[in-house]
A and B are shown apart, each in its own frame.
Chain A
Amino acid sequence: MKSTRVLIVDDEPNIVISLEFLMKQQGYETATAADGRAALSEADRFRPDLVLLDITLPELDGFQVCEQLRAEHGSDMGVIMLTARGREAEVAKGLALGADAYVTKPFSTRDLVDTVHKLLGTPRCSGG
Chain B
Amino acid sequence: MSGWLVVVISGCYLGVLFAVAYWGDRRKDAGRSVISNGTIYALSLAVYATSWTFYGSVGRAADTGAGFLPIYLGPTIMAAFWWFLLRSMIRSSKRHRITSLADLVAHRYGNSAVLGGLVTVIAVIGIVPYIALQLKAVSDTFALLRSGAVTVSHESATTPVLQDTALYVALSLAAFTILFGTRHLDASERHEGMVAAIALESCVKLVAFLAGGLYVTFGIFDGVGDLVNRAASNAETAALFTLQPHTSYQSWFWLIVLSMFAILFLPRQFQVAVVENVDERHLNTAIWLFPLYLLAINLFVLPIAIGGLLVFGRGDVNPDTFVLALPIATDQPLIALTVFVGGLSAATGMVIVETIALATMVSNSLVLPSLLWFERRLSRTPVTSGPAAAGAGLPLASFGYGGDLGRLTLRIRRTTIVGVLLLGYAYFRLAGEGPALVAIGLVSFAAVAQFAPAIIGGLLWRGGTRNGALVGLLAGFAVWTYTLLLPTFARSGWLPESFLVEGPWGVGLLRPEQLFGLHGMDDISHGMFWSMLLNAGCYVVVSMIGRDREPRHFATLRVGTELTGLDGEPAGLSRVSVDELQILLQRFLGTEAAKNVLEDYLRARENPNSPLATSRVADGELVRQVEVLLSGAVGTTSARVMVASVVNENEPLYVDEVMDILDEASQVLAYSRELERKSRELERATAELREANERLQDLDRLKDEFVSSVSHELRTPLTSIRAFSEILRDNLDLPGAEREKFLRIVVDETERLTRLINQVLDMSKLASGTVQWNITDVDLGGVIQDSATACEQLFEQRGAQLTVSVPPCVPAIRADRDRLVQVMLNLLSNAAKFCAPVDGQVSVTLCTEHDDLRVDVTDNGDGIPPTDQERIFERFQQGPRAGNGGDHGTGLGLPISHEIIRHFGGRFWVQSTPRHGATFSFTVPMQPIRAGRKADV
Seen from chain A, the residues whose Cβ lies within 8 Å of a Cβ on chain B are 12-15, 17-19, 21-22, 25, 56, 84-85, 87, 105-110
Query: Could you say which of B718, B722, B745 contacts A17, with CB atoms under 8 Å apart?
Result: B745
Q: Give chain A's interface secondary structure class.
A: helix
Interface pair B719/A15, CB less than 8 Å apart? yes
> Number of B residues contacting the other chain (C-beta, 8 Å)?
21
Q: List 22 A-B contacts (CB under 8 A).
A: A12-B716, A12-B720, A14-B745, A14-B748, A15-B716, A15-B719, A17-B745, A22-B723, A84-B715, A84-B716, A84-B719, A85-B708, A85-B711, A85-B712, A87-B708, A105-B718, A105-B719, A106-B719, A106-B723, A109-B723, A109-B727, A110-B726
Complex A-B, nearest 5 residue pairs according to Cβ-Cβ distance, in ascending order: A84-B715, A18-B723, A105-B719, A106-B722, A106-B719
B714-737 Cβ-contact flags toward A at 8 Å (1 or 0) = 011011111110110011000000
Name the residue on B nearest A82 (C-beta): B719
Known: A13-B885, A18-B724, A87-B708. A109 touches B719 (CB 8 A): no
Apart from A14-B748, A108-B726, what 5 extra A-B contacts exist at CB < 8 Å?
A14-B720, A85-B711, A106-B715, A107-B723, A109-B722
Most buried by A among B712, B723, B731: B723
Chain B residue contacts of A107, Cβ below 8 A? 719, 722-723
List residues of chain B with CB within 8 A of the CB of A108.
722, 726
Who on chain A is nearest to B715 by CB? A84
Prevailing SS type, chain B contact patch: helix
A67 to chain B, nearest CB (A): 21
| CB of B912 to closest CB in A, whole Å | 20
In the complex, chain B residues whose CB is within 8 Å of the CB of A105 = 715-716, 718-719
Interface residues of B in 721-765 (CB under 8 A from A): 721-724, 726-727, 730-731, 745, 748-749
Instruction: Enumerate chain B interface residues (CB-CB to A < 8 A).
Output: 708, 711-712, 715-716, 718-724, 726-727, 730-731, 745, 748-749, 885, 888
- Write the nearest CB–CB distance from B679 to chain A, whole angstroms: 41
List the B residue with the shortest CB-CB distance to A108.
Answer: B726
A15 and B726 in contact, given A25-B731, A84-B712 (Cβ under 8 angstroms) = no
**Cα A107 to Cα B711 with chains together (Å):** 15
The answer to whether B716 touches A22, judged by C-beta atoms less than 8 angstroms apart, is no
Which residues of chain B have C-beta atoms less than 8 A from A15's C-beta?
A: 716, 719-720, 723
Which residue of chain B is the closest to A13 with respect to CB atoms?
Answer: B885
Is A84 a contact partner of B711 (Cβ separation < 8 A)?
Answer: yes
Instruction: State A108–B729 Cα separation when bound (angstroms).
Output: 12
- Contact in complex: A18, B716 (CB < 8 Å): no
Find the B residue at minimum CB distance from A84: B715
* Chain A residue at minimum C-beta to C-beta distance from B724: A18
B620 to chain A, nearest CB (A): 73
- Interfacial chain A residues near B888, Cβ < 8 Å: 12
Chain B contacts for A17, CB-based, 8 A:
745
The complex places the Cα of A106 from the Cα of B867 at a distance, in Å, of 33
With a CB–CB cut-off of 8 A, which chain B residues contact A56?
712
Q: Give bound CA distance, A25 to B730, whole Å.
A: 11
Q: With both chains docked as a complex, state the minimum distance between the C-beta of B739 and any C-beta of chain A, in angstroms.
A: 12
Question: If the complex has contacts A14-B749, A56-B712, A87-B708, are A106 and B731 also in contact, measured as CB distance less than 8 A?
Answer: no
* Chain A: minimal CB distance from B289 (Å): 88
- A108–B726 CA distance with the chains assembled, in angstroms: 8
**Pair B885/A109 contact, Cβ less than 8 Å:** no
CA A109 to CA B718, docked complex, whole Å: 13
Give the Cβ gap from A92 to chain B, nearest Cβ, in Å: 16
Shortest CB distance B701–A (Å): 13
Bound Cα distance A84, B715 (Å): 6
Bound-state Cα–Cα, A87 to B704, Å? 12
Q: Is the CB of B708 within 8 A of A18?
A: no
- State the CA gap A22–B730 with chains docked (Å): 11
Q: Which residue of A lies closest to B752 (CB)?
A: A14
Residues of chain B contacted by A109 (CB below 8 angstroms): 722-723, 726-727, 730
Q: Which residue of B lies closest to A104 (CB)?
A: B715
A105 to chain B, nearest CB (A): 4
Provide the residues of chain A in CB contact with B711, threshold 8 Å. Answer: 84-85
What's the nearest-Cβ distance from chain B to residue A108, in Å? Answer: 7
* Shortest Cβ gap from A109 to chain B (Å): 4
CB distance from B73 to the nearest CB of A (A): 94
Minimum CB–CB distance for B886 against chain A, Å: 11
Closest-CB distance, B197 to chain A (whole angstroms)? 99
Q: Are B721 and A106 in contact (CB under 8 A)?
A: yes
B172 CB to closest chain A CB (Å) equals 113
A107 to B721, CA, bound (A): 10
Complex Cα distance A87/B885, Å? Answer: 30
Cβ contact of B727, chosen from A12, A18, A85, cutoff 8 A: A18
B885 CB to closest chain A CB (Å) equals 7
Bound CA–CA A19/B721 (angstroms):
12
In the complex, chain B residues whose CB is within 8 Å of the CB of A22: 723, 727
Bound-state CA distance A105–B719 (Å) is 6
Cα A13 to Cα B888 in complex, Å, equals: 10
A85 and B708 CA atoms in complex are apart in Å by 7
- For A14, the chain B residues whose CB sits under 8 A away are 720, 724, 745, 748-749
Assembly CA distance A15 to B818 (angstroms): 34
CB distance from B748 to the nearest CB of A (A): 8
- A84-B712, A84-B715, A85-B712 known; A18-B720 Cβ under 8 A: yes
| Closest Cβ neighbor of A14 among chain B residues | B720
- A31 → chain B, closest Cβ, in Å? 19
In the complex, which residue of chain B has the Cβ closest to the Cβ of A16? B720
Residues on A with C-beta less than 8 A from B716 are 12, 15, 84, 105
